[in-house]
Amino acid sequence: MASDSQTPATSIVVRRTVGEQAAVDAEAERRRLAARGTLVVNLLSSPGAGKTTLLEQTARRMGSDWRIAVLVGDLETDRDAQRLQGLVPTAQLTTGGACHLELPLVQRGLAALGDPELDFLFIENVGNLVCPASHDLGEHLRVVLVSTTEGDDKPGKYPKMFRTSQVMLVTKIDLLPYVPFQVEHVIADARRIQPQLEAIPIGALQGEGLDQWQRCLIDARQRLTASSS
Ligand SMILES: Nc1nc2c(ncn2[C@@H]2O[C@H](COP(=O)(O)OP(=O)(O)O)[C@@H](O)[C@H]2O)c(=O)[nH]1
Ligand SMILES: [Mg+2]
């Protein structure tokens, strides 16, 4: 039997799948931004549920007290970024047809803003209740919006989106008198999938529920800074 010194060295190459590497990268980004005190909020919904409107109102309410920036994902056009211009530093992330955002594009958007020190970084994902649920952007808070015009049966039909979110905003509650939609039904349906889900009904245009939304953000950031210090 050969002695140890004669044994040829054996090298083992450990390869990660693309998915595993993406998870490692997202976790590294999450930790990097947590250490800086930046709460990253990933906003997801079907098209038109009210993500940009919510961001406009959030920037108006919080922009003078907190350092905020927004990365806006879209298939084409910079229309949402234009709506936010003048309210908050914004970078448009154009996916060129892809149905969701991925971390490298988010990191390019943040670099385009100069990777500033922030209290809150909002990411408006591409409008879609399916694909964005499968992509970790390094966020600390995943927020799904469901509007009163979409029907109160959507959580059960798109379970991954609701299972992976911490907060659900029920939007456009000013339209409740005109549409067949029960807020308690949508909340019960979502909590069957994700019992811990925090649910906040809002009407962003009129400002309903925005105090609670703002408290939710500030509390989440406080928890983040407490746990990373
Ligand atoms: N009635 C009502 N309409 C809203 C509200 N929030 C957004 N909208 C409208 O819904 C449409 C889509 O909103 P937008 O913010 O662009 O949705 P996004 O595609 O998710 O970014 C726009 O016409 C908004 O004015 C709301 O609270 N109430
Ligand atoms: Mg939008």
Residue nearest to atom 1 of ligand 1 (CA): 172
Task: State the amino acid at position 194 in one-letter form.
Answer: Q
Confirm whether 12 is domain-assigned: no
Confirm whether 6 is domain-assigned: no
Give the domain range for residue 158: 18-225
**What is the per-residue pLDDT for 7?**
62
48 CA distance to ligand 1 middle (Å): 6
Confirm whether 1 is domain-assigned: no
Q: Which of 57, 107, 113 is nearest to 87 (CA)?
A: 57
Confirm whether 13 is domain-assigned: no
Instruction: Tell me if 224 sits within 8 A of 192, measured CB to CB.
Output: no
* Pairing verdict, β 68-74 and 90-94: parallel
Q: List, for residues 150-186, the tens digit of each pLDDT value.
A: 999 999 999 999 999 999 999 999 999 999 999 999 9
Q: Given pLDDT bands bounded at 50, 70 and 90, which one contains residue 6?
A: low
Confirm whether 80 is domain-assigned: yes
Region 106-125: mean pLDDT is 97
Q: Given pLDDT bands bounded at 50, 70 and 90, which one contains residue 16?
A: confident
Q: For residue 160, what is the domain's CATH number? A: 3.40.50.300
Region 58-69: mean pLDDT is 97
Confirm whether 3 is domain-assigned: no
b or e along 37-53 (b: 16 or more beta carbons within 10 Å of the residue's beta carbon)? Answer: bbbbbbbbbbeebbbbb
Give how far Cα 14 sits from Cα of 8, 20, 26, Å. Answer: 19, 12, 20
For a substitution probing ligand 1, which of 43, 51, 53 has the most ligand atoms within 8 Å of its CB? 53
* Pairing verdict, β 141-147 and 198-201: unpaired
